[in-house]
Amino acid sequence: MQERTAKSWTIEADVPPEVAFAYISDVRRHAEWSPKPYRVDPAPALPLQPGSNFQSYGSVPGDKEHANRVEVSVVDAPRVLVLTSTDKGEQYVHRFDIEAHGSGSRVTRTVEAPKPTGFVRLIFPLIFALFINPDVTKGMRMLKGNLATLG
């Protein structure tokens, strides 16, 4: 079995966990807090159910219409949403943990992915530092800002 790696990002928002969960679990709205073009087609029925599938399209270097098949793995409203995407036979797990924090919520996004191998393993820390981490950090800031408008 291939080694896996995980990284988490956290924000705090001035909305109750139920509001944060409803917004995050509406995957059609993920484009609103994606730092790069993103869309879902076809959009899954709401509320999300474990086992639901959809196709997502995002931008990665060299492919502005990068497609992923996504399965809803866990829905535990208003605390946990887990989406598992498959790309070139590899699974990437996107977990959103939402907890009450003061009068609002703390949202933690954890991405678990296969650990790179070969040459990519050598340069991956640079790729992560220059591209992945800044994009996810920006997306989480955008999520925080969008949640603020719902409060």
The predicted model scores a pTM of: 0.94
| DSSP assignments along 32-69, one per residue | GG-SS-EEESSPPPSS--TT-EEEEEEEETTEEEEEEE
Angle at 139 between CA 25 and CA 27, to 5 degrees: 20
**What does the alpha-carbon distance between residue 62 and residue 77 come to, in Å, rounded to a whole number?**
36
CA angle 142, 148, 151 (to 5 degrees): 150
Residue 128's pLDDT band, with cuts at 50, 70 and 90, is confident
**Residue 107's closest CA among 81, 133, 138, 128?**
81
CA–CA separation, 121 and 118 (whole Å): 6
Residue 146 has pLDDT above 70, yes or no: yes
Alpha helices by DSSP H, listed for 2-151, are 17-25, 118-127, 133-150
pLDDT-derived band at 1 (thresholds 50, 70, 90) equals low
pLDDT tens digits for range 64-118: 899 999 999 999 999 999 999 999 899 999 999 999 999 999 999 999 999 988 8
Residue 38 pLDDT > 90: yes
Alpha carbon of residue 43 to chain centroid: 16
* Domains along the chain with CATH numbers: 4-150 (3.30.530.20)
pLDDT at 61 (0 to 100): 75
State residue 88's pLDDT score. 87
Q: Quick one: average pLDDT of 36-61?
A: 93
The secondary element (H helix, E strand) that includes residue 108 is strand 104-114
Task: Give percent above pLDDT 70 in the chain.
Answer: 99
Quick check: 60 pLDDT over 90? no
| Per-residue tokens: 61 | 């270097």
- Report the C-alpha gap between 142 and 94 in whole angstroms: 17
